Structure 1
Amino acid sequence: MASPREHGQQPVEEAAGDQQEYTTVLTDPVNFNVKHPLFSSWTLWYDHGGKRLTSAQSWEQNLKELITFDTVEDFWGVYNNIAKANELQSGANYHLFKKGIRPMWEDTANARGGKWVFQLQKQRGADINDYWLYTMLACIGESFEYEDEICGAVVSLRKGFSRLALWTRSCGPREMTEHIGRQFKGLVGLNMQIEFQPHSDASKSGAHGKDKYVV
């Protein structure tokens, strides 16, 4: 009987060996060859704080765009190769926002919005790493029911505490805003109260909204 090779056919063993073997980051964190696209592209920003900035212009000049990514694997590549949140110097901030949205009140996507905020005292500084990671994963995984409302998130290191904020596109209606707040707490595993602050209040020194949202 003639062999498969004599008829120009490739043996089954060889044919199977020529097929590309797909490897994900879950099975090989270094030599993976498959990437999982995100629903949106996200940009990581950084500002180092340092000396007190006296104007919005000088703050914007201090803001650095680090990288934009659009796959799960690229996110982990970034996360695993930058300083953790609690390692930032006092006054510094990481900002993770959807591509095209700058992490500032003046951006049109943020102008009418606000943020859900919570703080951790210095003695719980390491906890901020987990909360920041879970917040980023919730954002890039588009885990919120009102996903179109999510603009980004900010983690800030200060002398005696750390702060984390989830930025939204609008301040209402109240039921929707509070639902986002409750989801935020659940997604990051938070068991403390958080407060919603409209950007219009935060931009005015000493101003506080009459109708505070707390969940």
Structure 2
Amino acid sequence: MEEDESKKYPLARTWKIWEMWSQNKESSSKFTQNMQEIGEFNTIFTFWQHWNYFPHADPMNLFENPETKEKVIVEGINQSIEAIGVFENGIKPAWEDDINEKGCDIYIRKSTSDFYRLKEMWESLVLSVIGENMPHSEEIVGCRVVDKKQNYKFELWLKLDMHQDTSGKANEIKIAFAHLFGVPQNILSVSSHKRT
């Protein structure tokens, strides 16, 4: 009997694809209500099924076009998509998540002039994360791309807090992230998720 294609080439973890919507003043305090998971995969086969079918593989399909200012509005919620994320199953793309609140995210901002390169940059980041290609990949919980209107923010979320990590793991991940985008490490920024 032939093996089910969807079970071939398992990934080390199960991942979920998320979308986050623009927030107005009333909804900003309820951040987790402004997002939803839209897909799940745990094999290379199911990843490519989602990636080839969902518009979330290409942020150009969902983010505001910087030239025309045309927005894509999500039916049923009357909001535009502000961010797309790929996160480990069981972890929400929110600082308030039990795992994330102890960690940080490393990020880089790219110009709106890079609009036509969004798919390429986003796909490189996602493939590095789900393929466990970064050093200490067990410390990485997900990644996001955010439409900030003035720029695009690519984020890599860690269980570790860069400012409290004495092992050096977070710094090695930061170096690999900089290398992935072909930029010097000092171009990257870090946000701690801990509340002060």
**Alignment TM-score, normalising by the size of structure 1:** 0.72
Question: CA RMSD for the aligned pairs?
Answer: 2.4
Cα distance between partner residues in 1 of 2:48 and 2:89? 17
Cα distance between partner residues in 1 of 2:33 and 2:6? 38
**Equivalent position of 2:32 in the other structure:** 60
Q: Is the 8 A contact 1:156 1:163 kept in 2?
A: yes
Query: Per-residue displacement from partner, 1:96-135 (whole Å, max 9, x unpaired)?
Result: 1000111111111111110110111111112222121111
Q: Is the 8 A contact 1:42 1:99 kept in 2?
A: yes
Cα distance between partner residues in 2 of 1:33 and 1:176? 33
* Cα distance change of structure 1 residues 33 and 55 upon mapping to structure 2, 3 Å threshold: closer
5+ long unaligned stretches in structure 1: 1-18, 23-31, 205-215
Cα distance between partner residues in 2 of 1:189 and 1:105? 24
**Equivalent position of 2:59 in the other structure:** 85
* Cα distance change of structure 1 residues 55 and 42 upon mapping to structure 2, 3 Å threshold: same
Cα distance between partner residues in 2 of 1:107 and 1:93? 17
User: Of the candidates 164, 172, 182, which is equivalent to residue 179 of structure 1?
Assistant: 172
Q: Say how many residue pairs are matched.
A: 173
Cα distance between partner residues in 1 of 2:29 and 2:16? 21
Q: Is the 8 A contact 1:125 1:161 kept in 2?
A: no
Q: Is the 8 A contact 2:142 2:158 kept in 1?
A: yes
More strand by share: 2
Q: Which has the larger radius of gyration?
A: 1
1:191 paired with 2:183, answer yes
1:37 paired with 2:27, answer no
Q: After the TM superposition, which residues 95-134 of structure 1 pair with which residues of structure 2 at under 5 Å, given as runs?
A: 95-134=85-124
5+ long unaligned stretches in structure 2: 65-80
**Equivalent position of 1:12 in the other structure:** none
**Alignment TM-score, normalising by the size of structure 2:** 0.78
* Cα distance change of structure 1 residues 34 and 60 upon mapping to structure 2, 3 Å threshold: closer
